C-alpha cells in the first residue's frame, strides 16, 4: 500500500490518481460493451452480421486508443525520473562492504 501512496504523491497527488481511475473505468466500460455486443451477435448470428463486426472493430480500436493514452500519461509522469533517481542514489551511496561481499 505504501508503494501506491508514493506513486500518487510523486505524480501531482489526487488529480493524477483521478485520471488513472477514469481511464481504467472507461476501459472497463468499453470492454463490458464489447462483451454485450458479442453476446448479442452470438444470439442472432445471421442478423446484420456486418454491423456487429464493424461495431466490434470500432470498440477494439477505442480500447487500443485508451490503452495508448494511458501509457502516454504514465510515461509522461514524473514518477519514472523520480524512481530512477532514487535507485541511482541508493546504488551510489551504498556501503562499499556490500560490493566487497557480493560477487558480481
Domain ranges of the chain: 2-77
Quote the cell numbers at residue 61: 480500436
**Residue 74: per-residue pLDDT:** 72
**Residue 80: per-residue pLDDT:** 67
CA distance 89 to 95: 12
**Residue 61: per-residue pLDDT:** 93
CA distances from 61 to 36, 38, 42, 73, 86 (A): 16, 15, 21, 18, 37
**Residue 4: per-residue pLDDT:** 67
Please check whether residue 74 is in contact with residue 5, taking contact to mean a CB–CB distance below 8 angstroms.
no
**Residue 84: per-residue pLDDT:** 73
pLDDT along the chain (104 residues), means of 10: 69 75 87 88 80 87 87 71 77 79 75
pTM score above 0.75: no
CA distance 22 to 25: 5
Give the residue from 70, 43, 40 showing the smallest Cα distance to 56: 40
Q: CA torsion angle for 87, 90, 92, 93 (degrees, to 10)?
A: 170
With left for phi above 0 and alpha for psi between -120 and 50, is residue 94 left, alpha or beta? beta
Amino acid at each position: 500500500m505504501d508503494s501506491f501512496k508514493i506513486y500518487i504523491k510523486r505524480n501531482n497527488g489526487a488529480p493524477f490518481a483521478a485520471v488513472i481511475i477514469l481511464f481504467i473505468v472507461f476501459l472497463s466500460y468499453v470492454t463490458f460493451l464489447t462483451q454485450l455486443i458479442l453476446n448479442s451477435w452470438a444470439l442472432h448470428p445471421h442478423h446484420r452480421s456486418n454491423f456487429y463486426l464493424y461495431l466490434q472493430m470500432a470498440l477494439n480500436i477505442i480500447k487500443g486508443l485508451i490503452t495508448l493514452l494511458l501509457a502516454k500519461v504514465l510515461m509522461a509522469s514524473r514518477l519514472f525520473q523520480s524512481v530512477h533517481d532514487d535507485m541511482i542514489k541508493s546504488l551510489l551511496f551504498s556501503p562499499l562492504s556490500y560490493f566487497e561481499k557480493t560477487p558480481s
